[in-house]
Amino acid sequence: MKPFTYERATSPAAAAAAVAAKPGAKFVAGGTNLLDLMKLQIEAPTHLVDVNRLGLDTIEATPDGGLRVGALVRNTALAADSRVRRDYGVLSRALLSGASGQLRNKATTAGNLLQRTRCPYFYDTNQACNKRKPGSGCAALGGYSRALAVIGTSKDCIATHPSDMAVAMRALDATVETVDGGGRTRTIPIADFHRLPGSTPWIETALTPGEMITAVTLPAPVRGTHIYRKVRDRASYAFATISVAAILPESGTPRFAFGGLAHKPWRVAAAEARLDGGAKAIAAAALAGATPTSQNAYKIPLVERTLAAVLAEGRAA
Amino acid sequence: MTDTNGFSLTRRGALVSGVAAASTTALPLDAQPLPAEARAATVPVSFTVNGKKRALDLDPRVTLLDALREHLHLTGSKKGCDHGQCGACTVMVEGKRINSCLTLAVMHDGDEITTIEGLGKPGDLHPMQAAFVKHDGYQCGYCTPGQIMAAVAMLQEVKDGVPSYVSTDLTAAGRIDAQEVRERMSGNICRCAAYSNIVAAIADVAGAEDVA
């Protein structure tokens, strides 16, 4: 690791101010992705602001019947919360499908949203990667792209966002609460939180420098069948090739969000209106305009087949 | 390490003396001090390890794993991948299992840490350690401390009602079978593939603790 200085923050606003004031400074929460990248010198912060002891680790009921999840709530604690298990099953399942027991005990709600892609060319510092080194090119295009994105890509980046949790939060229409270095707070809909790569793939979220996530709010529960189905190369502890977060209400419009397809959790309103057409119609609408590589074109039929399995599970529930 | 066969030279001792011999013909590692900009200011941190209070002054880059192994000489926790993929470094912090390689020691001021050395000792093994011996839950043994720490903490998670991805009912009380053990232990890799005996050892303890 490159040398860095370290401080323990005293409040969220002070933490945001500390990071905003120092070029190269970063927040550290669980640290499970940041330290991994620092050891490879893909991340090399000059200063770390530890935000672990700011009291942001509670899950509270909101006046409109939802839940406000503190930024520092660990993935295990969120997945195991009795209200989440009962009312937001898709979120609990998505969290439990990700990483390992040890990582879920450390990884946080905000950190999960901010984790970087696992594109092999991002991780290999000998390769070109516009995300790691802007302007260096994208070695994944024409390279080993089996696990990478099929839609929303650009000529500069075909990385996927690796989170399962974020896919469920996209289906739930969560909102992200932040504070910036000047103490100003705002909320960002999850749909607008992660960005498509475009020509600036190194800018991954809507956050401004020094802006810190303080909580993620879940709206009142959507009753119905909650399913998170993850397809991967091994049975556990692997990233999704594709995943489907589905909420199937007894009546009304279903919700489908997809992981493993794009630079952000992928959700298309037009696809949700095609339930009568079954998995084929939903998948076709969700993937309209997809530009897969020869190696990841298998994801297109896999989405339809996984949706068919999800709909069958929903009917059986 | 307890000497059980009258052979007093431990493997660690042999490695250390090997390094000492090698260093007589090569420059000592500290012969060329790092330039000032490559060194970081140290940060004081104190935590409790296996019931004992410990105070250290550390370069913030030191991971919890390196603090335990290199500074406190608790070498039971192993460094396998150093990236959170293998689980050999698993310890408990505040009763929860984590990868000690993926967290900085200075982030754990005031925390209570348990390593394999704090779980049991020769002649007074923790039930999970005894079960691994009984079921032959290892071959080379390198992953074993991490497997045992993860297994003990995992059974507590089941008792605490933490579901898993293979739990059919998210809201049901915790129960454990072989499929649950495999899913919940997927963060611990065994290169010797002693998995079937590891699962048997854990299931044995789980039965004894009446969570089967």
What confidence tier does B172 reach under pLDDT thresholds 50, 70, 90? Answer: confident
Question: How close, in Å, is residue B87 to chain A by CA atoms?
Answer: 8
Q: What tokens does A21 get?
A: 């004031």
What confidence tier does B34 reach under pLDDT thresholds 50, 70, 90? Answer: low
Asked if the structure places residue B69 within a domain, the reply is: yes
Nearest CA in chain B to A51: B107
Interface touch B102/A76, C-beta < 8 Å: no
pLDDT in tens, B93-136: 999 999 999 999 999 999 999 999 999 999 999 999 999 999 99
Asked if the structure places residue B37 within a domain, the reply is: no
**Which residue reads 């043994």 in tokens?**
B141
- Please name the member of A79, A97, A103 whose beta carbon is closest to the beta carbon of B84: A103
So what's the pLDDT on residue B6?
A: 41
Among B118, B145, B169, the domain-final residue is: B118
- Structural domain range at position B168: 127-206
Interface touch B187/A101, C-beta < 8 Å: yes
Interface touch B96/A39, C-beta < 8 Å: no
Asked if the structure places residue B211 within a domain, the reply is: no
Among B101, B118, B135, the domain-final residue is: B118
User: Are β-strands B112-114 and B43-49 bridged in parallel, bridged antiparallel, or unpaired?
Assistant: parallel
So what's the pLDDT on residue B2?
A: 42
Specify the CATH number for the domain of residue B55: 3.10.20.30
So what's the pLDDT on residue A303?
A: 98
Specify the CATH number for the domain of residue B153: 1.10.150.120
In the Cβ-directed half-sphere of A294, how many Cα atoms lie within 13 Å? 3
Nearest CA in chain A to B96: A105
3-state DSSP call for residue B78? coil
Do B201 and B148 share a domain, yes or no?
yes
Do B153 and B105 share a domain, yes or no?
no
Interface touch A35/B104, C-beta < 8 Å: yes
Do B55 and B92 share a domain, yes or no?
yes
Provide the number of structural domains found in chain B: 2
Do B103 and B148 share a domain, yes or no?
no
- Please name the member of B87, B163, B185 whose beta carbon is closest to the beta carbon of A79: B163
Please write down the HEC assignment for all residues of A214-267.
EEEEECCCCCCEEEEEEECCCCCCCCCCEEEEEEECCCCCCEEEEECCCCCCEC
Question: What residues in B contact A5, CB-CB < 8 Å?
Answer: 40-41, 60
Say how many CB pairs under 8 Å bridge A and B.
115
Spell out the residues 6+ positions from residue B131 whose beta carbon is closer than 8 angstroms to its own: B137, B201, B202, B204, B205
Question: What residues in A contact B150, CB-CB < 8 Å?
Answer: 101-102
Question: Is the ipTM reported for this complex over the cut 0.90?
Answer: yes
Q: What tokens does A309 get?
A: 């399995």
- Please name the member of A28, A79, A105 whose beta carbon is closest to the beta carbon of B107: A28
Ordered strands of the A185-189 beta sheet: A59-61, A67-70, A212-218, A175-179, A185-189
Q: Answer left, alpha or beta for residue A65, where phi above 0 means left and psi between -120 and 50 means alpha.
A: left
Question: How close, in Å, is residue A236 to chain B by CA atoms?
Answer: 6
3-state DSSP call for residue B77? coil
Nearest CA in chain A to B58: A6
In terms of pTM, does the model score above 0.90?
yes
B13: pLDDT strictly greater than 60 = no
Asked if the structure places residue B93 within a domain, the reply is: yes
Question: How close, in Å, is residue B163 to chain A by CA atoms?
Answer: 6
Among B73, B100, B118, the domain-final residue is: B118
Interface touch B84/A102, C-beta < 8 Å: yes
Most A CBs within 10 Å: which of B34, B91, B97, as the mutation test of the A interface? B97
Cα–Cα distances (Å) from A214 to A23, A69, A206, B96, in that order, read 21, 9, 15, 23
Asked if the structure places residue B7 within a domain, the reply is: no
Interface touch B171/A79, C-beta < 8 Å: no
In tens digits, what is the pLDDT along chain A, a chain of 317 residues?
Answer: 999 999 999 999 999 999 999 999 999 999 999 999 999 999 999 999 999 999 999 999 999 999 999 999 999 999 999 999 999 999 999 999 999 999 999 999 999 999 999 999 999 999 999 999 999 999 999 999 999 999 999 999 999 999 999 999 999 999 999 999 999 999 999 999 999 999 999 999 999 999 999 999 999 999 999 999 999 999 999 999 999 999 999 889 999 999 999 999 999 999 999 999 999 999 999 999 999 999 999 999 999 999 999 999 999 98
**Which residue reads 């079960």 in tokens?**
B131
Do B57 and B110 share a domain, yes or no?
yes
Interface touch B160/A93, C-beta < 8 Å: no
B208: pLDDT strictly greater than 60 = no
Question: What residues in A contact B171, CB-CB < 8 Å?
Answer: 82, 85-86
Asked if the structure places residue B5 within a domain, the reply is: no
